[in-house]
Amino acid sequence: MKERKTTMKRYTLLICMLLLLGSSFAQQEYDAWFTQANEAYSAGNYDTAVILYEKVVAADVESVSLYYNLGNAYFKKQEVPMSIYYYEKALKLDPSNEDVKHNLAFANQFIKDKSDPLPQSFIVRGWRNVRSMFSPDQWAWCSVVVFALLLAALFLFLRSRRIGLRKLGFFLGIAFLVVFVFSIIFAVQQKQSAMTQDQAIIMSPEVTVVSSPDKNSVALFLLHEGTKVTVLESSEGWRKIKIANGSVGWLPESSMRAF
């Protein structure tokens, strides 16, 4: 009985190792595709580059550089809506990436719709700016580090014999606690926005935004490819969307690509 258990254990171990090995093989393959795509891009073969990058994306892996490079390749192929889509995806993973921000702003010059964003309050803007400093994972790591610092400050407060150090520990501890709470809030919010596809890029050359999820309802306004919308609600092939200037309406799901 005991012997059987040990052999079973061995097999499980073996299978686990094989799985690990397999996943690392796949990873290497994706990296190879990525490298090939980069070479194709540098050589000006944007079609080939797009095909290879898309192959990596189809393998259900992602990274900032993958989305960014794919956006670049689409841009070079003069498919601006797709390039905007992938830049936005890259930005979602790393909201502070300068290259992505630059290229997204550049690509946005080529779209037809120009809607001025609604003015936001200072607090909301500040909140968003701070939140977009890090990606969800970075915020998570930040919370871990700040938690460590918080404990260190607490230790100082509890264990120091000198009154000055204890005071320092107390205030630092309060500061770190605040930062810890905020980083957790940011991480939660960012993770949620990354998990839910609450934004979309219009892919059809021109679509009519209607007042209700029904083809025959009143046409409100026109949107063109490349425009970013916020998805508010879904209903059987229809999406309730909101554009930057605050206008709201319904669009068929097929006319956009959510991210």
Partner 1 sequence: MKRLFILFLMLCPLWLSAQDDPKLTVSAKQQVVVGERFQVKFTANAEGKNFTAPSFTNFTVVGGPFTSTSSSVQMINGTVTSSTSVSYSYTLQAYQEGTFHIGSASLIVNGSKITSEPFDIKVLPDNGASAGASGGYTNGNAGQGQQSNNTNDPQVSGQDLFIRAIPSKKTVYLGEQLVLTYKIYTKVPVSSISIEKTPSYAGFWTKDITDNNGGVLRQSTEYINGEEYTSAEIQKIIIVPQRTGHFTIDPMTLECVAQIRSSSGRQQVFDPFGFFDDPFFNSNITNVKKELKSSSFGIEVNALPESGKPASFAGAVGNYDFKTDIDKTELSSDEAFTYTLTVTGTGNIELLQMPEPVFPTGFEVYDPKITTSINTSASGMSGTKKAEYLVIPRRAGKFDISAVEFSYFDPSAAAYRTITSDSYEIQVEQGSNSGGDGAYSSGQNDIQYLDKDIRHIMGGDPKLTSKNSFFFGTVPYIVALLVLLALFFILLLVLKKHEQLSKDTVANRNRKADKVAHGRLKRAYQHLKAKDQDRFYEEMSQALWGYIADKLGIERSKLSMDTVSEAMQSKNVPDELTQQFVDTLNSCEFARFAPGDAEEKMDDLYRRGIEVISKAEKVL
Do the bridges between strand 206-210 and strand 199-202 make them parallel or antiparallel, or are there none, so unpaired? unpaired
* Cα Dmax for the chain: 77
Burial 114-132 (b: 16+ CB within 10 A, else e): eeeeeeeeeeeeebeeebb
Here the tokens at position 251 are 């669009």
Pairing mode, strands 256-258 and 219-224:
unpaired
Radius of gyration of the chain (CA): 24
Task: Pick the stretch among 8-16, 35-43, 119-127, 223-231 that binds partner 1 (CB under 8 A).
Answer: 35-43
Q: Residue 172, interface with partner 1 (CB under 8 A)?
A: no
Contact between 157 and partner 1 by CB under 8 A: the answer reads no
- With CB under 8 A, what is the number of residues at the site for partner 1? 46
Helix 2-42 and helix 46-58, axial crossing angle in degrees, nearest 10? 160
CB of 59 to partner 1, least distance (A): 8
Stretch near partner 1 under the rule CB under 8 A, chosen from 2-10, 73-81, 121-129, 171-179 = 73-81
Q: Does 133 bind partner 1 (CB under 8 A)?
A: no
Asked whether position 48 contacts partner 1 by CB under 8 A, the answer is no
Binding site for partner 1 (CB under 8 A): 27, 30-31, 34, 38, 41-42, 56, 60-66, 68-69, 72-73, 75-76, 99, 102-103, 106-107, 136-137, 139-141, 143-144, 147-148, 151, 154-155, 158-159, 184, 187-188, 191, 194-195
